[in-house]
Structures are given as structure tokens and as C-alpha cells.
């Protein structure tokens, strides 16, 4: 049954009308936090999500669980979706993540499953085009470019006309039509069997008639709405939804971490080469000995480990993205300050590192503290850097991390000095 009857018990005065756009439904949910705000989206995309999950899992019960998890993730992430986000493409991506989490297993078990797999039964000669291509459809869709995939999902699977699809895609009708045509051609090429080409027009017709034709279990829509009403946008109780949320958070940060790590590494190498070159012009000094360089690298790794712990703990506790960004930013500032204090002298005393007088350092620390306070206290600056408003907890976490890093760095420095005295024999 493709059409679910509306649930009048969940309707509220602020609920959007059935003809409203996806963005209006999400904004209504962010304002009222009642399930009736998302009822239109559930009825609009329920069959679409369930059909994709059923093609991926091949089991109706698992497909229902994935569908429930996807809409609970939508309720949790609705406020963070950008205005340019195409909801059909986003739901398709979340469905793929939830299915992978549902079927996750150990590497040895995966290897054994691959070794002992049974050959697929051959399809009858009179099988329809959709029956032959459905098992590989979603994987082929994932390999399309995002803009082409969104256009194909809207026009070929959800049966939007080019005019309405162009409004959702925020482009012209002509460009939207081109995206659909190119996407269907690429999809047909990727689904092509051995020496059996697939016609893009026939594939589009099959997707329009069979892509969202799966039978939705009775009461699934009502169950999803009740779960949304119970959670009200908080962390869902369904385990699959929580695992999907954690994976989405990591996917969002993985690219930033990789780019940031590569950029910082290149800058460190450049600064190191410049410092060594300048020091070599005046004669190599004690600052660039092998022990000092090794100790500096170990201290940098310790500071990076602190930032990683802060980030992973915040992601595990489902801290809002802006608040997590603020914690990591303050942790980075605190780690730099801790490394400055740890390397003020060649000694290993923590007391000497804290009370040693240095007027220039005091002025620098005062400037850093003042600028950080301005960023945290002035709302436009926080918005510019996308930092959260919960700055007290962020400051406390960063301060605790700074003290921990300072103590850890001094201990590492003392251990390294002790080992060096043991290895290097005393001169007469």
C-alpha cells in the first residue's frame, strides 16, 4: 500500500498543509517540535525510503527498521540541514548508511561469508527490466554525481516534472532536464550487463513505475510519527538510529580532519625547514638537536591526541556541532599555550615553567586571552566562526585539557631527559 491514511490524532494547529515544501515542513518542525510538522514529509517519502531499504536488505522486517531509523535521524538532524539540501538525496544517503550499519559484521565473518556465498539463482528469460536491475540499482545511483543523482531521484523515482524538480534543485528547468538525461545515461551504462545494453528511456520508465512500488507494512507511518513525538528531536532510543547519527557525524568531519591535518603538516614542515636554514647560517645551536626535535614532535602528538579525545567525546555525547567546534577551537588554543609553558626552559620543573618571569610572554598571553574572550562573548564573532553559545562549558573543558596537556608534556620531558642521561655516558 503506497498511500497511508492521515493520522488526525497527531495533527496540530501549526502543522503544515500537505502541499507545503520540504523546507517549510522542516522549519515548522524546528519551531513547534510536534510530529504533525513532519507528517507531510513522512507521507511524501515513506515509500521512497522503504523501497530503497528493501532493495538493499532484501528483507521486509529489516527494511522497516531502516525506514524507522532514517526518519528518526531526520527528526534529529532537521535543524542542521542547509537550505540548499535536496531532501530526497539526503534521505537516500542516510538510507545507505543505515543499511550498512544494519548489516555490519566482523572482517573474518565477512571473509567467510564471501568464501561460502552461494551463486545467485538465474533469472528467468522473461524477467522484466526492473527485476534484472533492481539489486544493483542503489549502488549504481551512489556512483552518480550528487547533482545528477538528486535530479534522477526526483524525476525518475518520485515522478516530479521538470518544473517542480528545478525549483527543488534551485536551477533552471533546462539544466534540470539535462541533469536527468545525463544521469540516466550514466546509470544505464553502469547497469549494463554483459553485451546487453540498457536503454535509458526504458530504464527511466521502469524506475518511474517500480522504483517506489514496494508495499509498506501496515502501521509503519503511525509508528514513525509516534516515535518522533516521543523523541521531540532529542537523541533517539533506537540503536540503529544512534549508530547512523554517529556515522554521519564522522563522515561530516572526516574530510575536514584530513584536509586540516595535511595543511598543518605542510606548514610545520615549511616552518621547520626555514628555522633550520636560519639557524644554520649562524651555526647550529642547542635548539635544533635531535633530542629537542624528537621531544617537540612527541609534544605535538600529545596535543593532537587531546584534540582527538575532545572531538570523539563530544561526538559520542552528541554535542551540537557548533559547541563541539568551539570546544576543539579552545582546546587548540590551550594546547599551544601549554606547549609554550612546557618549553620555556630546558629544565623539567613544572613550577619553574609557571612562575618564570617573561614580560613579552605575559603580553602575548594577555592578548590571546582578550581575543578569545571577545570571540566567546560577542555574538556576531561567535556566529562568524560558527561557535556555540554554551561558552562556559567549552571554556571549562579547554582549561581542564590545557592543564592536563601541560602536566603530560612536563612528564614526557622529564622522562626523555632521564633516558638521555642514562644513554649518554658521563664525560670525565
The three state secondary structure string of the chain is CCCCCCCHHHCCCCCCCCCCCHHHHHHHHHHHCCHHHHHHHHHHHHHHHHHHHHHHHCCHHHHHHHHHHHHHHHHHHHHHCCCCCCHHHHHHHHHHHHHHHHCCCCHHHHHHHHHCCCCCCCCCCCCCHHHHHHHHHHHHHHCCCHHHHHHHHHHHHCCCCHHHHHHHHCCCHHHHHHHHHHHHHHHHHHCCECCECCCHHHHHHHHHHHCCCCCCCCCHHHHHHHHHHHHCCCCCCCHHHHHHHHHHHHHHHHHHHHHHHHHHHHHHHHHHHHHHHHHHHCCCCHHHCHHHHHHHHHHHHHHHHHHHHHHHHHHHCCCCHHHHHHHHHHHHHHHHHHHHHHCCCCCCCHHHHHHCCCHHHHHHHHHHHHHHHHHHHCHHHHHHCCCCCCHHHHHHHHHHHHHHHHHHHHHHHHHHHHHHHHHCCCCC
- Do residues 223 and 321 share a domain? no
Phi and psi, residue 83, nearest 5°:
-65, -30
| Nearest-10 Cα torsion for 354, 358, 362, 364 | -120
How far apart (Å, rounded) are the C-alpha atoms in residues 85 and 27? 13
Residue 328 lies in a domain: yes
Residue 274 lies in a domain: no
Residue 428 lies in a domain: no
- Do residues 58 and 174 share a domain? yes
- In 3D space, the residue among 280, 339, 343 whose CA is nearest the CA of residue 305 turns out to be 339
- Do residues 33 and 132 share a domain? yes
Kindly list the averaged pLDDT for each block of 10 residues, start to end, along the chain of length 428: 45 52 85 81 92 90 92 88 90 92 60 56 69 87 92 93 91 92 90 72 90 89 87 81 84 74 78 71 60 70 77 71 72 77 61 62 76 75 63 68 75 71 55
Write out the three cell numbers for 265: 603538516
Instruction: Write out the residue range of the structural domain in which residue 39 sits.
Output: 8-114+128-234
- Do residues 228 and 299 share a domain? no
Residue 184 lies in a domain: yes
Residue 164 lies in a domain: yes
Angle at 69 between CA 65 and CA 73, to 5 degrees: 175
How far apart (Å, rounded) are the C-alpha atoms in residues 236 and 227? 8
- Do residues 91 and 188 share a domain? yes
Write out the three cell numbers for 350: 613544572
> Could you give the number of structural domains in the chain?
2
- Do residues 311 and 394 share a domain? yes
Residue 332 lies in a domain: yes
- Do residues 65 and 204 share a domain? yes
- Do residues 403 and 338 share a domain? yes
- Do residues 40 and 165 share a domain? yes
Residue 241 lies in a domain: no
> With contact defined as beta carbons under 8 Å apart, do 86 and 168 qualify?
yes
Residue 364 lies in a domain: yes
- Do residues 146 and 33 share a domain? yes
- Do residues 305 and 388 share a domain? yes
What predicted TM-score, i.e. pTM, was given to this entire model?
0.64
pLDDT on residue 322:
66
How far apart (Å, rounded) are the C-alpha atoms in residues 132 and 123? 7
- In 3D space, the residue among 199, 211, 214 whose CA is nearest the CA of residue 159 turns out to be 211
pLDDT on residue 2:
45
How far apart (Å, rounded) are the C-alpha atoms in residues 355 and 141? 62
Residue with cell 582527538: 308
Amino acid at each position: 500500500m503506497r498511500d497511508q491514511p492521515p493520522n488526525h490524532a497527531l495533527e496540530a494547529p501549526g502543522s503544515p498543509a500537505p502541499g507545503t515544501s520540504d523546507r517549510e515542513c522542516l522549519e515548522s518542525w524546528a519551531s513547534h517540535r510536534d510530529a504533525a510538522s513532519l507528517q507531510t514529509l513522512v507521507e511524501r517519502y515513506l515509500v521512497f525510503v522503504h523501497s530503497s531499504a528493501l532493495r538493499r536488505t532484501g528483507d521486509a522486517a529489516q527494511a522497516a527498521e531502516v525506514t524507522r531509523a532514517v526518519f528518526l535521524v531526520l527528526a534529529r538532524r532537521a535543524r542542521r540541514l542547509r537550505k540548499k539540501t535536496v531532501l530526497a538525496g539526503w534521505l537516500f544517503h542516510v538510507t545507505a548508511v543505515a543499511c550498512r550499519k544494519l548489516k555490519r559484521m566482523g572482517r573474518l565473518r565477512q571473509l567467510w561469508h564471501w568464501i561460502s556465498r552461494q551463486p545467485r539463482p538465474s533469472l528467468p528469460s522473461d524477467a522484466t527490466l526492473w527485476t534484472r536491475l533492481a539489486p544493483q540499482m542503489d549502488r549504481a545511483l551512489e556512483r552518480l554525481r550528487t547533482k545528477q543523482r538528486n535530479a534522477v531521484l526526483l524525476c525518475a523515482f518520485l515522478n516530479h516534472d521538470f518544473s517542480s524538480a528545478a525549483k527543488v534543485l534551485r536551477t533552471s528547468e533546462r539544466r534540470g532536464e539535462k541533469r536527468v538525461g545525463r544521469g540516466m545515461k550514466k546509470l544505464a551504462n553502469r547497469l549494463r550487463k554483459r553485451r546487453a545494453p540498457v536503454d535509458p528511456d526504458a530504464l527511466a520508465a521502469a524506475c518511474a513505475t517500480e522504483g517506489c512500488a514496494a508495499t509498506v507494512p501496515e502501521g509503519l507511518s503511525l509508528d514513525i510519527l509516534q516515535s518522533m513525538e516521543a523523541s521531540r528531536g532529542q537523541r533517539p532510543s533506537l540503536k540503529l538510529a544512534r549508530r547512523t547519527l554517529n556515522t554521519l557525524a564522522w563522515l561530516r568531519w572526516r574530510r575536514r580532519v584530513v584536509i586540516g591535518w595535511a595543511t598543518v603538516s605542510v606548514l610545520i614542515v615549511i616552518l621547520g625547514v626555514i628555522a633550520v636554514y636560519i639557524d644554520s647560517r649562524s651555526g647550529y645551536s642547542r635548539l635544533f638537536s635531535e633530542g629537542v626535535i624528537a621531544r617537540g614532535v612527541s609534544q605535538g602528538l600529545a596535543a593532537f591526541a587531546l584534540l582527538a579525545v575532545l572531538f570523539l567525546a563530544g561526538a559520542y555525547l552528541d554535542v551540537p556541532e557548533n559547541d563541539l567546534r568551539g570546544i576543539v577551537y579552545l582546546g587548540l588554543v590551550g594546547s599551544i599555550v601549554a606547549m609554550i609553558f612546557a618549553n620555556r626552559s630546558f629544565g623539567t620543573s613544572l613550577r619553574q615553567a609557571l612562575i618564570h618571569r617573561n614580560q613579552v610572554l605575559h603580553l602575548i598571553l594577555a592578548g590571546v586571552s582578550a581575543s578569545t574572550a571577545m570571540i566567546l562573548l560577542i555574538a556576531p564573532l561567535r556566529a562568524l566562526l560558527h561557535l556555540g553559545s554554551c561558552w562556559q562549558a567549552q571554556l571549562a573543558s579547554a582549561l581542564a585539557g590545557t592543564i592536563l596537556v601541560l602536566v603530560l608534556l612536563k612528564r614526557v620531558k622529564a622522562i626523555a631527559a632521564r633516558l638521555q642521561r642514562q644513554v649518554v655516558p658521563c664525560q670525565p
